[in-house]
Copies of this chain bind each other. A is one copy, B any other.
Amino acid sequence: MSETGKKVAVGIDLGGTAVKIGILNAAYEILAQTSIPTDADRPYQEVIADMGKTASALLARNGFAVADCAGAGVGSPGTIDSKNGVVLYSNNIRWDNVPLAKELQKYLPVPIYVQNDANCAALGEVLRGAAKGCQNAVFLTLGTGVGGGIVINGKIFEGGHPGGAELGHIKCGAEGRRCTCGRADCLEAYASATALIHDAKEMAKQYPDSLLWALCDHDLEKMNAKIPFDAADAGDPCGRLLVDNYIQYLADGITDLANIFRPDLIVLGGGVCAQGEKLTEPLNQHLRANCFGSTVAYVPRAVVAKNGNQAGMIGAAGLVSL
């Protein structure tokens, strides 16, 4: 048994570049953590073997026997069959029908739970983050894509079948932008960091005098999702337009989610949410103005996630009952 006699959970965040592994207690505090490169080009068996051996070693190194560990949760990108612990498909790590739980248990003989990484991040924010104590929350991560997670009555709602809670893939905008999923005009095609960067590059090409150029050192390859916000702050009309458009699209998406889920809060994660109130204030104005029945019904607020890069690990550990 551990020194305190209390059980711990392992939380694993499987990313395209790195696998983050942590040991967490019942308060979802990270007692120890490490990370290894994913190196996703290898056979999945090797990736999972490394994951399991590293987790076991981390437990041992910190004085925990396998019996001290109530289970391990893994947050994985892609479409997950959580019931069977299988990664059905992940574009990110190029996995196809990988029996993650079964394989991991060879190296880490505890109950294994697998969930989509954005679902884990949503749960993490509810357990110990911006939505702590909320029973109902919707989470959007604004990064390379737009990931979604839904918490209903304190638990992840992943949809009735694998492939639910894909909140980046609701319709938004009408420019005919092709989404990575194949459909046109998904929220992801307008509200991901990738989309904002793409739009900023196009805008810069059209307006050679824009401050956008100076902010990316006159090299469009250095464009990032912060630059349009910085340009807007400095009074650049191109920056302002980019930010206003971006927020309008995002606001449309979260208003849909408010009308569907009417959650306690809408939590925004991912790189773009570093903009804090520059993002949430106009979003909240839009929500108050556009939510169905906003004069009589509760209007959820949009807030910024608190768990940052640890959101996935915390939420993955949250899959384990402690």
Residues on A facing B (Cβ under 8 Å) = 79, 88-89, 135-136, 148, 150, 152, 157-167, 169-174, 181-183, 252-253, 255-256, 259-264, 290-293, 295-298, 300
Contacts and interface: CB of A to CB of B under 8 A. Distances in A.
30 contacts: A79-B292, A88-B293, A136-B161, A152-B157, A152-B160, A158-B262, A159-B261, A159-B262, A160-B264, A161-B263, A161-B298, A161-B300, A162-B262, A162-B298, A163-B259, A164-B259, A164-B261, A164-B262, A166-B260, A169-B259, A170-B170, A170-B256, A170-B260, A171-B171, A171-B172, A171-B252, A183-B255, A183-B290, A256-B256, A260-B260
A135 to B, nearest CB: 6
A43 to B, nearest CB: 20
Contact of A297 (B79, B183, B260): B79
Number of copies: 2
A89 B293 contact: yes
Nearest to A161: B298
Contacts of A157: 152
B181 A293 contact: yes
Nearest to A290: B183
Contact of A171 (B89, B181, B255): B255
Contact of A79 (B88, B169, B170, B293): B293
B262 A169 contact: no
Contacts of A296: 79, 88-89, 162-163
A167 B260 contact: yes
A284 to B, nearest CB: 16
A interface majority secondary structure? loop
Contacts of A174: 173-174
A85 to B, nearest CB: 16
Given A256-B256, A293-B89, A262 B181 contact: no
A163 B260 contact: no
Contacts of A171: 171-172, 252-253, 255-256
Nearest to A252: B171
Nearest to A153: B160
A262 B163 contact: yes
A157 to B, nearest CB: 7
A169 B298 contact: no
A292 B89 contact: no
A88 B300 CA distance: 17
Contact of A162 (B148, B158, B256, B297): B297
Contacts of A169: 256, 259, 292
Contacts of A172: 171
B298 A263 contact: no
A79 B292 CA distance: 9
A180 to B, nearest CB: 10
Contacts of A136: 159-161
Given A170-B170, A174-B174, A296-B79, A161 B262 contact: yes
A164 B260 CA distance: 5
A225 to B, nearest CB: 23
Nearest to A138: B160
